[in-house]
Amino acid sequence: MPGTVILAKSAGFCYGVRRAVDLARKTAVESGGCWMLGDLIHNANVVRELEELGVRKTTEPETLGEGDTVVIRSHGELKRVLDGLEARGAACVNATCPNVCRIQKLVAQSEQEGRRAVIIGEPHHPEVMGLASWCAQPLVFSGPEDVRAWLAEAESNRDIPLTVVAQTTCIRELFETSWEIIKKECTNVKIFDTICDATHKRQSEAAEIAGKVDVMVVVGDRKSANTKHLTEICMRSCPRVFQIEDARELSPDFFNGCHVAGLTAGASTPAGIIKEVYATMSEEIKAAEGKEESFEELLNQSFKTLNTGDRVTGIVTAITPTEVQVDVGAKQAAYIKLSELTDDPSAKPEDIVHVNDEIETVVVRVNDVEGYAELSRKRLESIKVWENIEQAVEDKTVMEGVVIAENKGGIVVSVKGIQVFVPASQSGQPRGADLSSMIKQKVQLRVTEVNRNRRRVVGSIRSVTEEARKAAQEQIWSSIEVGKHYTGTVKSMTSYGVFVDIGGVDGMVHISELSWSRIKTPSEVCKVGDTLEVYVIAFDPEKHKISLGVKDRSIDPWEVFMNKYSVGDVASVRIVKLMSFGAFAEVVPGVDGLIHISQIADRRIDKPEDVLSEGQIVDVKITAIDEEKKKISLSIRALLAPAAEEDSEEE
C-alpha cells in the first residue's frame, strides 16, 4: 500500500532488557540510589533516564563495597567482578538476562566436565567477555573463518571435547555454519543453540519486511550488537537501509521516491522512541506523496489482525488460577485457558509461566464482538512436532525415539510424542526375530512417510543402521594396517575359530590365535557377545577378509618357562594330547613337554590312556631341557620312584 510504514511486530525491548530496566528503576526508588557498572543496556536515552532516577554509573567496580547497591547489566558481568563485589560486601541486584545466565551455567559446566567452551560471537562484546570469564580456557570465534583457522593450527584440536554456545544476539547463519564445521571435524562435541528466540524472530521479521519495502529504518544504539546485526540483515534485502538512534536523525532525503518503508528496532530501544520515529517517518512519506493520513490511523494499521490458526507471540501480563492473560499487540484481549497451557491437570499456571515471560501460542478462537481471543500453547507445540516430523522426511533427518509396542507387522516408536510405525523389514532385526525384545529400547530412525490428516507416520531403523555400518566399514578399511589393535565383539563361532566385529567389519580369529594354551574349541575361551581385544595379522581389501589375533605376541612363552623352571623342578601340568609313545603336557601356556610312556608309571603299561586322560592335571618332574630345540622331558615316575624303593626295602 503506497505511503505505508510497516512496523515490525517484535521491534523494541525484549524481555531481558525490559526486566533489567524495570529492576534498575525499582532498585533506585527502594534504595534511594544505586550503581550500574557501565551502561545497563545499550541505549544512551535510557541510561540518561536511569541516571536522573539515581542510578549512578561507574567503570571502577573495585571502588564499591559494603553499603553500595549494584545493578548488574543485562549483558552480564565478568565473574571476577561479581566475586569481588560479593567479597567486599556490596549488595548485587542481578538484572542479567535469564538467557545469558543460562549460557554462563553451560560454560561453567563445560569446564567441570573437562570440556573446552566454544563461544560463537563478537569477541569484544560485553556479553561474550562475561561468558568467557566463567571458565579457564574459552575459545571465542567470530564466525566460521575463525573456526577453520583454529582447526588448522593442530590436528590434536579435533580430539578436544568441546561445548559450543552462541552469543544471544548472534546471527543464526554465522552460528549454524560454525557449529556444522565443528561437528563435522571434531570427535566429541556438545552443541547448545543459545541464540535468543526473540532475537531470531526479530531478525527473521526484519529480513522479511526489508524484502518488501523501498526504505528500511533500523532504530537502536550504535553500540548495540543486535541493532548492528539487524542492519546487516536488512541490507541483504533492501537497497536503502538507515540505522539511527532516534527521530532527530531522520532526513526527508531518506524517503525520496519511497512508497513503502519498513521500521524495526533493536532490543534496547524504548517504545517511546519507536513511536516517535514511526510518526516522523509517516509524516515524511505523507509530505512526499501529499498524503494526510494521521499518525493514529497508521498506528492502528500496525496492530495485528488475529485469525484462528495464526501463530502469535506475546508477553504474559497476568496469571489467575484458571488462565493466563497475554499481550499479543492486538486490539483484542488474549488469554490461555489452563487446559490449553498444559496436559497436567494438577499443574498451577504460575509454576509454568511468569509475568513478563515471552510465550508463543496459536489462536484457537477470535470473538471480535466481545473483543477477546483464545490462545493455546499446547496445540502449538503439537503443530510444531508435526511440522518437525514432516520436515524430517524432506531433510532425511535422523530422529531418536523409544520403542513402546510391538504390533502386527512391526513395532511402534514414540518420537517426540508422535507414534511412528516401523515395519519388521525396517526394524534392523533378522527375519523372524522377536521384536518384543526391542520394547523400551532407544532407537534412531528416519521418517519415510507422513500423513498428518490420518495421523500416520512410517519410519525405518534399518536405513540408519545400514548407513552407520557402511560409514564404519569405510572408516575401518581406510585406516586398517597390520598390527593395529581394535576392541571387538564376538559375532559367531565355528570349530576352527571365531568371527569378531571390529566396528562394522568382521574379522576371523583362528583357533590357534585365540590362546597360547592348546584348546579344542573356541568355546573354551570365549562365547558370542564377548568383548575381545584383537590385532590385525593380515588383510585383503579386495576380498574383504581380515585375519585377527588375540594372543599377546609381546610375550615369549619359552622365555616365561625358562624364567620359571629348571631341570629337577616339580611342576603341575595339564595333559593335552595322548600318543602311542607317551603324553604331551602343557607346562606353561604355549609350551608343552613330553612324558615318555616309560615315565608315566612305576610299572610297565601298554598305552598312556591306561593311566592318563586329556585335561587331567598331574605333578611331574622336569628331567631334561633342550634349549636349542626347545624341547622338555617330563617324568611322573621320577616322583614315584623313591616311594617304590622304600616299599622294596621293607619287604
Cα 395 → chain centroid: 19
Handedness of CA 283, 288, 293, 298 (dihedral sign): negative
Assigned C-alpha cell, 142 = 567470530
Q: Rounded to whole angstroms, what are the CA distances from 42 to 219, 332, 552?
A: 12, 33, 67
Nearest to 302 by CA among 272, 282, 286: 282
Q: How many CB atoms lie within 10 A of CB 470?
A: 11
Assigned C-alpha cell, 50 = 536511569
Q: Any idea how long the chain is?
A: 651
**Do residues 456 and 393 make contact, with C-beta atoms less than 8 angstroms apart?**
no
Q: Burial letters for 205-222: b for 16+ Cβ neighbours within 10 Å, e otherwise?
A: bbbebbeebbbbbbbbbe
d(CA 389, CA 118): 30
d(CA 267, CA 557): 75
d(CA 242, CA 224): 15
Residue 147: phi and psi, rounded to 5, are -65, -45
394 catalytic? Reply is no
| Strands 69-72, 55-58: pairing kind | unpaired
Nearest to 526 by CA among 478, 490, 484: 490
Secondary structure (DSSP) of 433-491: --GGGGTT-EEEEEEEEEETTTTEEEEESHHHHHHHHHHHHHHHHHH--TT-EEEEEEE
d(CA 446, CA 399): 6
d(CA 403, CA 458): 13
Under 8 Å CB-to-CB from 21, ≥6 apart: which residues? 13, 40, 41, 46, 50
Query: Which one from 66, 86, 111, 127 is the annotated catalytic residue?
Result: 127
d(CA 603, CA 495): 38
Assigned C-alpha cell, 613 = 586322560
DSSP helix/strand/coil, 48:
helix
DSSP 558: H
Nearest to 238 by CA among 217, 219, 220: 217
421: left (phi over 0), alpha (psi -120 to 50) or beta: beta
Please report, for the chain, how many H helices and E strands are present, in that order. Answer: 16, 32
Task: Return the bridge partners of 246, or none.
Answer: none
Helix (H) or strand (E) holding 181: helix 172-185
> Could you give the residue numbers annotated as active site?
127
